[in-house]
Structure formats: structure tokens, C-alpha cells
Amino acid sequence: MDHLRSDADLANPVVLLTGATGGLGRELARRLVEAGMRVVASARSSASLASLIHNLPAQAEVRGIPADLERPGEAGSLARAATAVWGRLDVLVNNAGVGYNALIEETDEEAARRVFEVNTFSPLALIRAVLPGMAAQGHGLIVNIESCSGRGATPTRGVYGASKSALAVLSNTLRLECEPLGIQVLDVYPGTLNTDFDDHAYRESGRPGLCPQGECGTDPGHAAERIVAAMARGSGELWLDSRARLIARLAALWPRWLQRTLRQLRD
């Protein structure tokens, strides 16, 4: 990852990974340490972090910091604590996220605020906290795990999609602003993954998710491999599901076509 190395001493980039104990997060943590990176892993549960670290290779350089990103202000504290572990941060991976399955008319405002706190405001706070250090180093990489739901309307995914759409606009703007600073920005659109993400989503009226674990989706280990490979290339977009990418692009051109295609999900 030459874009992360400003001198010979930076042989092992330091990564802050949020959502490190979820399905994709666990696989990312493993691939990152296997690639020789030092990882500061964060999640809500101290026990889950301890289990994650225990199951990583013995030689892995990894530290766990529990943080609840639903709490306003928690992201800034996490960034400071993560930077203190090895004295710097070279990579931020905004992987933490929470789903919400609800029609707009039945949306609970408090639940919607929690979704935006995790999916939008916490990544923004983390980005703002790490940018000065990365700019001073003259290098850095910010990876935002986006969602195809943020690129097109899907019934029952309005609030979740809106939170991810906001993150996508922030990320695209950030890429333009950070280019002169030597900081790379990578947007990842995983598509549907075979994880327990939908099982932990907020929901109203028992609304089901789009992909219950074990029934569909890409293997998160394969997704993590592709993400780490894309990190070596730097800025840009990575779409792990070519069909989702096609749908997103068609939806931008012909939104009424998408409405007709997805109407059955509404019903």
C-alpha cells in the first residue's frame, strides 16, 4: 500500500476498524492482520472483542476498544483512544452499521435517530477526528462501507437507505477535498452478504429483512478479501455485486423503472 507509506518506517499501517465483531468485520480484521497491518478493533461488546482477538493469529498486532456508536460523542473518544495505541492512524474503516426495516409511515423517530447516529454521524465524527493526523502525515486511507440501499429507493428501507445515501455524498465530497492532502477515500458497496446483519436490524411491525442469514448473500470472507485488495489500490468505488451496481445505475437514469421492479416488495 504505497499510498500509505511516506517513509521506510511505515511498514505496518495502523487501522481503526469499527463494527469489528460483526460478520464482515470479523473477516476484515483477519484479512487486515494477515496483510501485516496493526488493527485497533472496535465494537460495542468487550466480550465479543476479546473473542475476536483470541481467534486471530497469535502474532497479530491487534487491540480492542469497546465503543457504542449509538451514543453521540462516542466516536470522537474512540478516535482519540485508537490514535493513542500506536501513536498514529493510517487507515479508518467505517464498517459499523445498523439496519432498519420499516415503512415510512410507521417509522419511529427515536429509532431513526439511532440509525443515523451509527450510519452517518459517527462515521462523520471519526473522519473529522482522524483527518488532521493523516494530513500531517501526508498520507492516509478512509474506507466507508456503503450500501446499495443508499443509491436507490427500496420499500421498508427508507431510513436506512437515507442514512447510507448521506454517507455516500459525504464520502464523495471528502474524496475531492482530501486529494491535495494525499488522503485516499474508498467507497465499498458490498451488496447482500451472508451475515446476521438483518437479524440485528431495528424493525417495525415485524418487518423482515431482505436477506436472513443462511438464505442468501455473498460469503463475507470473500468480500473481505476483495476489500483489502481494493485498499491497496486507494481511492475509488468497489462494488462487490455487479447486479446491484447495474440496478443502481439504471435507477439513477430511470427511477420509475425501479419503482415498478420493486413494487412487489412493498406489497
Q: How many CB atoms lie within 10 A of CB 19?
A: 25
The DSSP call for residue 190 is -
Whether the CB-CB separation of 29 and 115 falls below 8 Å is answered with no
Q: Report long-range pairs for 249-253 (Cβ below 8 Å, ≥24 apart).
A: 251/151, 251/152, 251/153, 252/151, 252/152
Cα pseudo-dihedral 121, 125, 128, 129, rounded to 10 = -170
Catalytic residue among 100, 160, 189, 202: 160
Report which secondary-structure segment, H or E, holds 228: helix 220-233
160 is catalytic: yes
Q: Which residues pair with 91 in a beta bridge?
A: 15, 141
Catalytic residues: 160
